[in-house]
Protein backbone atom coordinates (compact mmCIF):
# COMPACT_ATOMS: atom_id res chain seq x y z
CA UNK A 1 0.00 0.00 0.00
CA UNK A 2 1.64 3.18 -1.23
CA UNK A 3 -0.06 5.30 1.42
CA UNK A 4 2.02 3.74 4.18
CA UNK A 5 5.17 5.24 2.67
CA UNK A 6 3.74 8.76 2.83
CA UNK A 7 4.17 10.29 6.31
CA UNK A 8 0.89 12.25 6.21
CA UNK A 9 -1.29 9.49 4.81
CA UNK A 10 0.26 6.82 7.05
CA UNK A 11 -0.43 9.03 10.09
CA UNK A 12 -4.03 9.51 8.94
CA UNK A 13 -4.42 5.74 8.56
CA UNK A 14 -2.96 5.17 12.01
CA UNK A 15 -5.41 7.67 13.49
CA UNK A 16 -8.38 6.04 11.76
CA UNK A 17 -7.30 2.58 12.89
CA UNK A 18 -6.42 3.69 16.41
CA UNK A 19 -9.47 5.84 17.04
CA UNK A 20 -12.16 4.24 14.89
CA UNK A 21 -15.02 5.58 17.04
CA UNK A 22 -13.90 9.22 16.92
CA UNK A 23 -16.22 11.62 15.11
CA UNK A 24 -13.68 12.44 12.37
CA UNK A 25 -13.88 15.16 9.75
CA UNK A 26 -11.27 15.72 7.06
CA UNK A 27 -10.54 19.09 8.72
CA UNK A 28 -9.83 17.38 12.04
CA UNK A 29 -7.70 14.74 10.38
CA UNK A 30 -5.75 17.39 8.44
CA UNK A 31 -5.01 19.29 11.65
CA UNK A 32 -3.80 16.09 13.32
CA UNK A 33 -1.40 15.21 10.50
CA UNK A 34 -0.30 18.74 9.62
CA UNK A 35 -1.91 19.27 6.22
CA UNK A 36 -4.83 21.30 4.96
CA UNK A 37 -8.11 19.48 4.44
CA UNK A 38 -7.84 19.68 0.66
CA UNK A 39 -4.16 18.67 0.53
CA UNK A 40 -4.82 15.66 2.74
CA UNK A 41 -7.93 14.63 0.81
CA UNK A 42 -6.08 14.85 -2.52
CA UNK A 43 -3.03 12.99 -1.26
CA UNK A 44 -5.05 10.32 0.53
CA UNK A 45 -7.28 9.69 -2.48
CA UNK A 46 -4.34 9.50 -4.87
CA UNK A 47 -2.38 7.05 -2.70
CA UNK A 48 -5.18 4.95 -1.16
CA UNK A 49 -7.62 5.03 -4.05
CA UNK A 50 -10.60 6.47 -2.19
CA UNK A 51 -11.36 9.59 -0.14
CA UNK A 52 -10.57 9.55 3.58
CA UNK A 53 -14.17 9.45 4.83
CA UNK A 54 -15.12 6.61 2.47
CA UNK A 55 -12.07 4.69 3.68
CA UNK A 56 -13.14 5.32 7.28
CA UNK A 57 -16.69 4.08 6.61
CA UNK A 58 -15.30 0.93 5.03
CA UNK A 59 -12.84 0.40 7.90
CA UNK A 60 -15.62 0.87 10.45
CA UNK A 61 -17.75 -1.70 8.65
CA UNK A 62 -14.86 -4.19 8.68
CA UNK A 63 -14.30 -3.69 12.41
CA UNK A 64 -18.03 -4.09 13.03
CA UNK A 65 -18.16 -7.22 10.87
CA UNK A 66 -15.35 -8.72 12.92
CA UNK A 67 -17.23 -8.10 16.17
CA UNK A 68 -20.42 -9.48 14.67
CA UNK A 69 -18.64 -12.65 13.53
CA UNK A 70 -17.20 -13.37 16.95
CA UNK A 71 -20.45 -12.42 18.66
CA UNK A 72 -18.87 -10.46 21.48
CA UNK A 73 -21.38 -7.61 21.70
CA UNK A 74 -24.85 -6.42 20.78
CA UNK A 75 -25.49 -4.55 17.56
CA UNK A 76 -26.06 -1.29 19.46
CA UNK A 77 -22.77 -1.71 21.36
CA UNK A 78 -20.86 -2.51 18.18
CA UNK A 79 -22.36 0.53 16.46
CA UNK A 80 -21.07 2.77 19.24
CA UNK A 81 -17.66 1.04 19.27
CA UNK A 82 -17.13 1.95 15.62
CA UNK A 83 -18.34 5.54 15.82
CA UNK A 84 -22.09 5.59 15.25
CA UNK A 85 -24.42 7.27 17.73
CA UNK A 86 -27.33 4.95 17.01
CA UNK A 87 -28.19 1.59 15.55
CA UNK A 88 -30.08 3.38 12.75
CA UNK A 89 -27.01 5.42 11.76
CA UNK A 90 -24.92 2.26 11.79
CA UNK A 91 -27.47 0.46 9.59
CA UNK A 92 -27.43 3.26 7.02
CA UNK A 93 -23.63 3.19 6.84
CA UNK A 94 -23.19 -0.58 7.03
CA UNK A 95 -25.69 -1.75 4.41
CA UNK A 96 -23.98 -0.19 1.36
CA UNK A 97 -20.59 -1.59 2.40
CA UNK A 98 -21.94 -5.15 2.50
CA UNK A 99 -24.56 -4.83 -0.26
CA UNK A 100 -27.60 -5.46 1.90
CA UNK A 101 -31.11 -4.86 0.65
CA UNK A 102 -31.94 -1.41 2.04
CA UNK A 103 -35.41 -2.60 3.10
CA UNK A 104 -34.07 -5.59 5.04
CA UNK A 105 -33.74 -4.87 8.77
CA UNK A 106 -30.30 -5.49 10.19
CA UNK A 107 -29.83 -7.61 13.25
CA UNK A 108 -27.05 -9.83 14.52
CA UNK A 109 -28.58 -12.93 12.90
CA UNK A 110 -28.96 -11.47 9.38
CA UNK A 111 -25.53 -9.86 9.56
CA UNK A 112 -23.64 -12.90 10.78
CA UNK A 113 -25.27 -15.19 8.21
CA UNK A 114 -24.33 -12.77 5.41
CA UNK A 115 -20.77 -12.25 6.68
CA UNK A 116 -20.00 -15.91 7.35
- The CATH architecture of the domain made up of 57-115 is Orthogonal Bundle (1.10)
Write out the DSSP string of 10-32: HHHHHHHHH-TTS---HHHHHHH
Percent of the chain with pLDDT over 90: 45
pLDDT digits (tens, 9 = 90+) for 54-104: 999 889 888 888 887 787 778 788 888 899 888 788 877 776 655 555 455
How far is residue 108's CA from residue 110's CA, in Å, rounded to a whole number? Answer: 6
Q: Taking the domains of the chain in order of start, what are their residue ranges?
A: 2-49, 57-115
pLDDT digits (tens, 9 = 90+) for 50-67: 999 999 988 988 888 888
Total-model pTM: 0.78
Query: Is pLDDT at 43 greater than 50 in this prediction?
Result: yes
How far is residue 21's CA from residue 5's CA, in Å, rounded to a whole number? Answer: 25
Amino acid sequence: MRGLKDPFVSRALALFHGRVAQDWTVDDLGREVGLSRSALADRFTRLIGEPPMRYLARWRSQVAAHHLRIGDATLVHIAKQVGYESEAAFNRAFKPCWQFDHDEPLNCHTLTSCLA
